Amino acid sequence: MVIGIGNMDQSKSLNSTDLINIGVFTAIMAVITLIVIPIGFLPVLMPLYCVFIPLFSGIPFMLFVTRVRKFGMITIMSILMALFLLCTGMGWYTLPLALITGFIADGLVKAGNYSSLKLSIAACSVFSLWCFGSYIPLIFMADQFWAENAQYGEEFINDSKDIFRLWMAPALIACCLVFGALGGVIGGRVLKKHFIRSGIL
C-alpha cells in the first residue's frame, strides 16, 4: 500500500542531515559486516556472508529507508560499503557492482514515492548484492587473487578454490537477493511504527 507523504522534503540536493544519516547507517552496516567476517576463517563457511549480512542488515536498512527522501542516498551508502570492502583487502571489484545495485535500489524506493513497503523490501534485496562483490576475485580471478594473498596458506587457498567455482556465482547472488528480501520483511515488521510514522504502510 502506498500513502503519500505531505511533509516530504522537495529539495533534490542532499543536506547535512541526509549525509549524517548515510554515515550513521553505513557505519551500522559495516559493524554488522565486521561481526560476520570471522566465520570466513573457515572457507566452507565463507558463502554464508551472503546469508547473514543481508539478513542482519535488513532492520538497519529498512530504518534507513524511513529517512530516505532523495534519490542518491542509497547509492552513496552502497558505494561506501564497496569502499569498506576495498579497505578489507577485497579489491575494487565491488565498486561498479555497488554503483549499479545502489542506483537500482534508489530507483525502487523513489518509484514508490518513498512510501511503498513492498518496493522498500525490493530495494533491500537489490542493495544486498554489494555482498557478492567480495566473491568476485575468488570466483573470476582466483589465481591472481591468491597469488597476491599467499599468506593465507596453501590449505586455506586450496579449500577456497574448491568451493568458489563458477557455478557458485548464481547461487551466491540468489542468496543475497533472497535473504536481503527476508531481512527487509523482518525489518518492516519490527519497525512497523516507524513506517507508519513515515507514511509507509
Q: What is the pLDDT along the chain (201 residues), one digit of tens a residue?
A: 333 333 344 467 889 999 999 999 999 999 999 999 899 889 899 999 999 999 999 999 999 998 998 999 999 999 999 998 888 776 688 899 999 999 999 999 999 998 899 999 999 999 999 999 889 989 998 888 888 888 888 899 999 999 999 999 999 999 999 999 999 999 988 877 655 665 555
In angstroms, what CA-CA distances link 89 with 59, 92, 93, 95, 179?
A: 27, 9, 11, 13, 25
Residue with cell 575468488: 138
Give the predicted TM-score (pTM) of the model.
0.85
Q: What are the residue ranges spanned by the domains of the chain?
A: 17-197
Residues recorded for the chain:
201
- How many Cα atoms are found within 13 Å in the side-chain-facing hemisphere of 71? 9
Structurally, what CATH architecture does the domain formed by 17-197 represent? Answer: Orthogonal Bundle (1.10)
CA nearest 142: which of 157, 154, 120, 156? 157
